[in-house]
Amino acid sequence: MSTPSFLLSLSFLFLSFLSISLSQQPPKGYLIDCGATSKTAIDDREWLPDEDFISTGSSKNLTVPRLIPTFSTVRSFPLQNNLRRKFCYTARVYKGARYLIRTAYYYGGVNGVNFPSPPVFDQIVDGTFWRVVNTTEDYRKGSTSSYEAVFEAKGTTMSVCIASNTYTESDPFISSLEMLLLGDSLYNTTNFDSYALSLVARHSFGHNRSVISYPDDLFDRYWEPYAENVSVIASNNTPSVSGFWNIPPSKIFESALSTDQLEPLELRWPPLSLPNSTYYIALYFADHRDSMLSGSRVLHIHINEVRYISNLEVTSAGAAVFATRWPLEGQTKITLSSAANSNASPLINAGEIFDILRLGGRTHTRDVIALNAMKSSLRNPPLDWNGDPCLPLNYTWTGITCFEGERIRVVTLNLTSMGLSGSLSSSIANLTALTGIWLGNNSLSGTIPNLSSLRLLEVLHLEDNQFNGDIPSSLGEILTKQ
């Protein structure tokens, strides 16, 4: 078979035993119960109310009985005039560390009888569009929905935002948000400087009970049960997972899918049609027999007829293989066949597949700091002034425009007639890429800051406000530049 050119860029890694010391503590990070007003403990882990992480939206109680606590309240965001707006949770994080971000949703009819179906809206992390939230199907079945991704913290804070879009018909909402620190070796074949991973599916094959999560999974990833019309093998062999960079829970090795004879095993996995994109795929294997006694189990694996790996030897010590960048579209078929020298049928224990997202970038930090200082000196800043100011480009903060060059800078500030009160922070002088400022017809008070550092400023409108004191002499020059 000829090898398509894109295979050249793939890297496969075989894992054997490395020693990583594993702590048995729950994953560090935040468990946020959106809309809640007090802490709740579930299975000995504490969920925090969300007020310390967000300044917009309102808390609502669901009237559906018998919901688990994190789903019984939501934070709901106003859909005003169908404007595209984002509403962000911001948390302090360790710069450079990798986080598992999980959002969960249960609508419960919170937008009233006129909107029996859940709203469809977007999710954003920092400056990157993550994915659309459409919980319609799950809600119809009475289920909750969750979305998971892995992002690296690019600064000391990270924001996770809910955003309305053209298809959003009623107020977007969120039930819970988790931001959990991941070990350094997890998914480390991905270049997190430029990419993030958005989970498509994570399954424990042949497992038929409840989802596997913490404490079985040290990082509280969810491994869903998955069965197909093929034979299931139960195993008492649980290899030491410390050898696998992604540190899967050992429980995934307790069941496997296999075939009765040496015939190939075909999986329609992941069980959904994929958009045209590039994916990260990790597959996990461990022979349930004692390899020393029973001889070798050697596999060839194809994905949609394209060779993924040949002669993978699966022993009781376990193996994992990764494709770091694999293009896929539509339905996916994974075929495992026995190599000629194998005396056992193919077998597979678990799989993970992520969509690889290219990061959208971030606004220049100096501008972010200056705008946040301005925000805190305004008494009623615009509702969507949170998260990244410029990015994603179609979710820029109300009243600003940006320039996307080597650095992403704020170039104009137009808050005309927005009913703003409070004062104008002197930090505006740090927005050194500004060419125009329109703040007319508000109720701003206090002194006008020294703006002489804004060398590119060509237009300045401060009329119809309640500024007091002298017009700084530095302004004389700017006004004459017009």
Ligand X SMILES: *[C@@H]1O[C@H](CO)[C@@H](O)[C@H](O)[C@H]1NC(C)=O
Q: How many CA atoms lie within 13 A of 8 on its CB side?
A: 3
Window contacting ligand X (CB under 6 A); options: 21-29, 48-56, 215-223, 446-454: 446-454
Residue window 136-155: x/- pattern of binding to ligand X, with contact defined by CB under 6 A: xx------------------
Distances 405 to 13, 107, 399, 410, 437 between C-alpha atoms, Å:
37, 40, 20, 11, 20
Please give the Cα distance from 152 to 93 (Å, whole number).
10
Q: Which residues, in sequence order, are bridge partners of residue 400?
A: 413
Q: Which of 406, 419, 469, 482 binds ligand X (CB under 6 A)?
A: 419
Helix (H) / strand (E) element for 195: namely strand 195-205
456 binds ligand X (CB under 6 A): no
One-letter amino acid of 40: T
Burial class (CB in 10 A: 0-12, 13-18, 19+), 178: buried
- Of 50, 84, 103, 82, the closest CA to residue 163 belongs to 84
Strand 195-205 relative to strand 224-226, pairing: parallel
* Residue 463 touching ligand X (CB under 6 A): no
Task: Please say which residue, 296 or 414, places its beta carbon nearer to ligand X.
Answer: 414
CA dist., res. 30 & res. 97, Å (int): 14
| Nearer of residues 213 and 450 to ligand X, judged by Cβ | 450
Structure tokens at 100: 């598992």
Stretch that binds ligand X, among 85-93, 154-162, 261-269, 471-479 (CB under 6 A): 471-479
CB of 47 to ligand X, least distance (A): 15
Number of residues that bind ligand X (CB under 6 A): 45
Mark out the alpha helices in 330-402 (DSSP H runs). Answer: 365-377
- The CB-of-145 to ligand X minimum distance in angstroms stands at 11
Dist. CA 163–CA 124, nearest whole Å? 7
- DSSP, collapsed to helix, strand or coil, labels residue 353 as strand
427 binds ligand X (CB under 6 A): yes
Piece of the chain touching ligand X by CB under 6 A; list 53-61, 75-83, 261-269, 350-358: 53-61
Residue 81 binds ligand X (CB under 6 A)? no
134 contributes a contact to ligand X by CB under 6 A: yes
- Subset of residues 221 to 240 that bind ligand X, contact rule: CB under 6 A: 229, 232, 234
Of residues 242 through 301, those in contact with ligand X by CB under 6 A are 245, 255, 276
| By CB under 6 A, residue 189 contacts ligand X | yes
Minimum CB separation from ligand X for residue 132, in Å?
A: 7
Which is closer to ligand X, CB of 131 or CB of 307? 131
- How many distinct helices (H) and strands (E) make up the chain? 5, 32
**Residue 123 exposed, middle or buried by CB count within 10 Å (0-12, 13-18, 19+):** buried
Tally Cβ neighbours within 10 Å of residue 459: 15
Structure tokens at 156: 């000391």
Write down the least CB distance from residue 477 to ligand X, Å.
Answer: 11
Q: What is the CA radius of gyration of the chain?
A: 26
Binding ligand X (rule: CB under 6 A), the pick from 61, 80, 331, 376 is 61
Write down the least CB distance from residue 245 to ligand X, Å. Answer: 5
Q: Is 441 in the site for ligand X (CB under 6 A)?
A: yes
**CB 274 → ligand X: shortest distance, Å?**
11
Nearer to ligand X by C-beta: 129 or 284?
Answer: 129
Task: Read off the DSSP letter of residue 7.
Answer: G
DSSP 27: P
Map residues 11-50 to x or -, x wherever contact with ligand X holds by CB under 6 A: -------x------------------x-------------
Binding site residues, ligand X, CB under 6 A: 18, 37, 59-61, 84, 120, 129, 134, 136-137, 165-167, 185, 188-189, 208, 229, 232, 234, 245, 255, 276, 329, 366, 373, 392, 394, 414, 416-417, 419, 426-427, 429-430, 438, 441, 450, 452-453, 472-474
